[in-house]
Amino acid sequence: MSAPSPVPTEKGILQFLQICDNLYPADAVEAPVEQQRRWYDALCARFDRPLPPDIIFADGMVQRIPIRRYRPRKIITRTILLYIHGGGFVVGSLESHHAICAEIADFAGAELVSVDYRLAPEYRWPAQTDDGFAVLKHLLAAGNKVVLIGDSAGGNLAAGLALRARDEALSGVVGQVLIYPTLGGDMDAGSYVEMAAAPGLTTADVAYYREILRAPEGNEIAEPLRASSVADLPPAFITVAHFDPLRDDGRHYAARLSAEGIEVWFREEPQMVHAWLRARHMSDGARDGFRAVCEAIGHFAML
């Protein structure tokens, strides 16, 4: 008899999971990609929120890459926030994280740029990191300081961009904020086993996303946990969910950064599941976690 799936007890996050189950099937990865995207868009729309008052946003292009710029009513720093959305490299868009990006920009008092990178399977790795890096280099070339931010797959891309910027001796990246990131951990150990059947994201789902991306195994940009060195990276804030197979990726990366002398803040949300950012207006734990994320971004933006 198999052990029961690990689940949180917080009322708000359980309500969030129920809504997710009704809109995004647990076996969604078995459906055609076009259907996955329709389900994901519907899920994102369900949790959409009005934007903060007076925030301005506009779509544009950097080279061939679509972006969206957010500018809050009060700018207190010239540092640019670069947001890279999650979605397993398969789903997600400028729309999927629209309100999240607007709220972060408003809280930090900073302009935010969101990247609509190319998705798999139409575009395999390294298209995703190359798109993000092109936008990052564009911002740095204009003399901006930049805070890298990403959730889930976007957290992977943000961590990889920090490594790429370091390796090319690009200055100006002042912080990296990684939200329940996937970083290339061992899928036969730790949280990948303990939380294999966690609600919202399973280890089998992670395996599917890795397979569809087709990043080369052991590549340190695709799998930052495999980096030969993390020295000289910008300071980091890493947050993970307890009920998430990706939990130990963030734990281990934070420990690795700290061991090599990088300033790092690590936070584990004890009642949270993967993708808890969407629950920030209905779960106490998600609300607190989102505020911590915003405070970290605001701190880095003032460096």
Which tens digit of pLDDT belongs to each residue from 245-282?
999 999 999 999 999 999 999 999 999 999 999 999 99
The DSSP letter of residue 156 is H
Residue range 17-28: mean pLDDT, rounded: 95
Catalytic-residue membership of 85:
no
Catalytic-residue membership of 41:
no
Of the listed 244, 248, 249, 252, which one is catalytic?
A: 244
Residue 238 has pLDDT above 60, yes or no: yes
Residue range 68-74: mean pLDDT, rounded: 96
- Tell me how far apart the alpha carbons of residues 21 and 6 are, in angstroms, rounded to a whole number: 16
Of the listed 93, 96, 114, 152, which one is catalytic?
A: 152
pLDDT of residue 2: 54
Residue 3 has pLDDT above 80, yes or no: no
Q: In this structure, what is the dihedral angle of CA atoms 158, 211, 223, 149, given to the nearest 10 degrees?
A: 10
- What is the amino acid identity at position 62? V
Nearest partner of 120 among 31, 232, 58, 210, judged by Cα: 210
- Tell me how far apart the alpha carbons of residues 114 and 110 are, in angstroms, rounded to a whole number: 13
Q: In this structure, what is the dihedral angle of CA atoms 181, 285, 147, 51, given to the nearest 10 degrees?
A: 120
Tokens of 88: 């397993």
Q: Tell me what the pLDDT averaged over the chain comes to.
A: 97
Of the listed 85, 98, 242, 274, which one is catalytic?
A: 274
Catalytic-residue membership of 281:
no
Give the whole-number percent of the chain exceeding pLDDT 90.
98
Backbone angles phi, psi at 69, to 5 degrees: -105, 135
Which tens digit of pLDDT belongs to each residue from 112-159?
999 999 999 999 999 999 999 999 999 999 999 999 999 999 999 999
Helix intervals (H) in 67-226: 98-108, 127-141, 153-167, 191-194, 203-213
- Tell me how far apart the alpha carbons of residues 72 and 173 are, in angstroms, rounded to a whole number: 21
What is the pTM assigned to this prediction? 0.97
